[in-house]
Structure 1
Amino acid sequence: MDGQRKSWNGAAALIMPKHKLLMIKAKESGKWSIPSGGIEEGESPEQACIREVWEETGFTVQTIGSIHTKKAVIKDYDVTTSYFQCKLVKGQIAYHDPDDAIEEIAWKTDKDLLHLDLEYPEDRELLLSHFNRKAVEM
């Protein structure tokens, strides 16, 4: 390897009906995150977001807006993750996860979020800000 980092692009979904956030817990780390994953060849970030939510949670969603783009360096990768606000369309909690990486799927409150062990701790502030924004809109 010539010292060049590889790129990885992903998409993440913020789904918050009824003031609760849809989250998943990874088997390997035991930590929580919002549904997310890699963008496959030929997919737009929005399409990847919708697919990942279905695979990881069993819910069908619609993206309703881009809310954040996170750039980070993880190991040898330049990582770019597009975060989308999503609207729940239909479905129920179900495990379709092709990677068999999910231990639990659950709806979490803002109070839960304060104490959860997050896969991406840097996301806590962003996620909490959406609970606050939701409260102001009501």
Structure 2
Amino acid sequence: MKRWLGSAGICFNERNELLMVKAHGSGEWSVPSGGIEEGESPEECCIREVKEETGYDVRIIEQLLVKETSIKGIEVKTYYFRIDTFGTSTGIQDPDGIIGATAWKSLPEVKTMSHAYPEDLDFLLEQFNYK
């Protein structure tokens, strides 16, 4: 069985909006995330992926969740971290060229938007209460 390990960042701004990204040509949003590279910790992966996908430098506050699931026959393990941005975004620098947009989304928007990972919706909505 193939395995994939990744990290995702949960980040809110001062207006209690969640940092989200979407792929080119997609209407589905998700929090910034990506695969852990060889020799990288989940924390390092999170910091790198958020920088690549949103242009923000971030610091880890705490680990929130480890999601283990199976997607199309691949065992998937994703580490979710609460993070904080510092400085301003330098723009999307995604080496894979997947990310088409990044935006801060309010609670009503997150409730009604189309999600790339709909199974994460309840978890994401809970995070609005912990700001």
TM-score band by shorter chain is over 0.9
Q: Which runs of 5+ in 1 are unaligned?
A: none
* Paired position in structure 1 for 2:81: 84
% identical aligned pairs: 45
1:1-59 Cα distance to aligned partner (Å, 9 max, x none): xxxx1110000000112101100011254310000000000000000000000000000
1:7 aligned to 2:3?
yes
Runs of 4+ in 1 over 4 A off after TM superposition: none
> What are the equivalent positions in structure 2 for 1:1-138 lying under 5 Å apart?
5-18=1-14, 19-92=16-89, 94-134=91-131
Deviations 1:71-118, CA, capped at 9 Å, x for gaps:
110112100000000011222250101111112110001010011100
Paired amino acid for 1:62: R
Which protein shows a greater Rg?
1
- The code of the aligned residue for 1:22 comes to L
Tell me how far 1:125 sits from its aligned partner.
0.7
Q: TM-score, normalised on structure 1? A: 0.90
Rounded Cα–Cα distance in structure 2 between residues aligned with 1:28 and 1:72: 26
Report deviation, 1:133.
2.2
Structure 2 residue runs of 5 or longer lacking an equivalent are none
CA distance in 2, matches of 1:133, 1:33: 19
**AA paired with 2:82?**
Q
**Deviation larger for 77-86 or 27-36:** 27-36
- CA RMSD between the two structures: 1.1
**SS of equivalent to 1:17:** coil
Q: Partner of 2:37: helix, strand, or coil?
A: coil
Output the amino acid matched with 1:15: C
- Paired residue secondary structure (1:91): coil
Q: Distance in 2 between matches of 1:99 and 1:31?
A: 18
